[in-house]
């Protein structure tokens, strides 16, 4: 059989390469025409958003069409047996890549379509955050599995890798123990990611207190979680942290939250005027959601009364603004109307006996 190098040197390969190049160009042209027609149809009958979704399949489908044309013309090319085997092998691997690419894009399109009816920017977005969290983690898991399967199938097309696989199977027990021990943290992270996707102790945009920091869940992956701290810092934690450690989730069942404001006054301070002033202040601000308006004496310390105002807001950020606003206005009220009842330290002098 004529060797590949001799076949190349003879010049007989060039006509076949030109035919292959023509098949590639034809595949690209057919794909461009097909997607142009599809674009017009989709935009006319549906919307631009629908075309954006469909266009995600443009490049993998173009690759698939080109490979199909190459497969059709391959038997008619004047290649030697050795060259034909190599070309077929390359086309097979590219087929695996194109199918995997299409599957990955299909997963992403499915996620987009399923999430279109949920608005993560809405004020009451609890259900949207639940669905977004589930699908983001599941998408990452599915794409990872597709890539692993594609690599495995591609490697199985090489005879030497097959033999290597047989050799490894003979010592699978020892290899399994070594790999399992080495990858136990990675596997643990994946399992933790699945637990979070299913049980959802945290979701995207949840308000949490972790490591003494207040922030929102910004990103959830299979291995780590990013918490956006209130001052724009990012706290990156392994996903297992939220399975193994206690933390506060302020929006677990609802974004609504109560805020507390503590004031300290003299014992002589009448409470009812402050209670009425609290109600007036709350009615002037858009931060209050009109659910809770309470003022109580919660403690009587040695030198002061402890007053606690309890107010409600739609979410944690709004509650913070409501608390600082209400505290400021109540202090101004006491300074203006009852300055004599601000906290005081009393000292009594008694005359000594002669």
Could you tell me which residue, 75 or 182, shows the higher pLDDT? 75
Q: What is the pLDDT of residue 277?
A: 94
| Mean pLDDT calculated for residue range 81-103 | 84
Position 158 confidence tier, pLDDT thresholds 50, 70, 90: confident
Q: What is the mean pLDDT of the chain?
A: 78
List the CATH code of the domain at 257-341. Answer: 3.30.70.100
3-36 core/surface letters (b: 16 or more CB in 10 A; e: else)? ebeebeeeeebeebeebbeebeeebeeebeeebe
CB 323 within 8 A of CB 261: yes
| Nearest to 225, CA basis, from 198, 197, 253, 250 | 197
Position 199 confidence tier, pLDDT thresholds 50, 70, 90: confident
Residue owning tokens 């206690």: 246
Does residue 3 register a pLDDT over 70?
A: no
| Mean pLDDT calculated for residue range 202-214 | 87
Q: What is the pLDDT of residue 49?
A: 62
How far is residue 74's CA from residue 19's CA, in Å, rounded to a whole number? Answer: 9
Q: What is the pLDDT of residue 174?
A: 46
Please state, in angstroms and as integers, the Cα–Cα distance from residue 158 to each residue in 92, 149, 175, 350, following that order.
Answer: 11, 15, 22, 103
How far is residue 142's CA from residue 104's CA, in Å, rounded to a whole number? Answer: 8
Q: What is the pLDDT of residue 272?
A: 93
Q: What is the pLDDT of residue 91?
A: 84
| Mean pLDDT calculated for residue range 140-162 | 77
Q: What is the pLDDT of residue 281?
A: 94
pLDDT in tens, 25-50: 887 888 888 877 777 776 666 655 66
Q: What is the pLDDT of residue 185?
A: 58
Could you tell me the sign of the dihedral formed by the alpha carbons of 225, 208, 214, 116, in that order? positive
pLDDT in tens, 244-302: 889 888 877 777 888 899 999 999 999 999 999 999 999 999 999 999 999 999 999 88
Q: What is the pLDDT of residue 296?
A: 92
Q: What is the pLDDT of residue 262?
A: 93
CB 320 within 8 A of CB 260: no
Domain coordinates in residue numbering, the chain: 4-116, 257-341
How far is residue 260's CA from residue 268's CA, in Å, rounded to a whole number? Answer: 23
3-state helix, strand, coil in the chain (%, to 5): 60, 15, 25
Does residue 75 register a pLDDT over 50?
A: yes
How far is residue 258's CA from residue 254's CA, in Å, rounded to a whole number? Answer: 11
Residue 180 phi/psi, 5° resolution? -60, -40
Q: What is the pLDDT of residue 119?
A: 62
């Amino acid at each position: 059989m004529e060797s590949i190098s001799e076949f190349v040197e003879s010049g007989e390969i060039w006509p076949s390469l030109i035919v292959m190049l023509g098949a590639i160009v034809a595949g690209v042209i057919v794909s461009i025409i097909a997607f142009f027609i599809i674009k017009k149809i989709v935009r006319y009958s549906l919307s631009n958003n629908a075309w954006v979704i469909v266009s995600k399949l443009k490049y993998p489908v173009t690759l698939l069409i080109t490979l199909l044309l190459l497969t059709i013309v391959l038997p008619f090319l004047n290649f030697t047996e050795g060259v034909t085997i190599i070309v077929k092998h390359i086309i097979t691997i590219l087929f695996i890549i194109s199918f995997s690419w299409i599957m990955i894009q299909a997963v992403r399109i499915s996620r987009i379509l399923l999430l279109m009816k949920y608005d993560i920017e809405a004020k009451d977005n609890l259900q949207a955050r639940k669905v977004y969290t589930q699908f983001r983690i599941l998408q990452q898991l599915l794409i990872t599995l597709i890539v692993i399967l594609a690599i495995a199938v591609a490697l199985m097309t090489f005879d030497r890798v097959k033999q290597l696989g047989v050799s490894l199977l003979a010592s699978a027990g020892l290899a399994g123990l070594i790999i399992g021990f080495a990858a136990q943290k990675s596997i643990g992270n994946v399992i933790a990611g699945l637990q979070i996707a299913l049980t959802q102790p945290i979701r995207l945009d949840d308000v949490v207190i972790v490591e003494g920091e207040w922030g929102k869940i910004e990103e959830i992956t299979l291995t780590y979680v990013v918490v956006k701290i209130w001052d724009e810092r990012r706290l990156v934690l392994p996903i297992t942290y939220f399975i193994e450690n206690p933390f506060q989730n302020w929006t677990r069942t609802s974004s609504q939250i109560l805020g507390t404001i503590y004031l300290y006054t003299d014992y002589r301070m009448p409470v009812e005027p402050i209670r009425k002033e609290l109600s007036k202040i709350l009615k002037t601000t858009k931060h209050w959601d009109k659910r809770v308006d309470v003022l109580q004496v919660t403690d009587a310390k040695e030198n002061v009364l402890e007053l606690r105002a309890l107010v409600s807001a739609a979410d944690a950020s709004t509650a913070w603004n409501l608390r600082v606003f209400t505290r400021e206005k109540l202090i101004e009220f006491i300074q203006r109307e009852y300055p004599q009842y601000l906290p005081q330290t009393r000292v009594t002098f008694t005359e000594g006996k002669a």
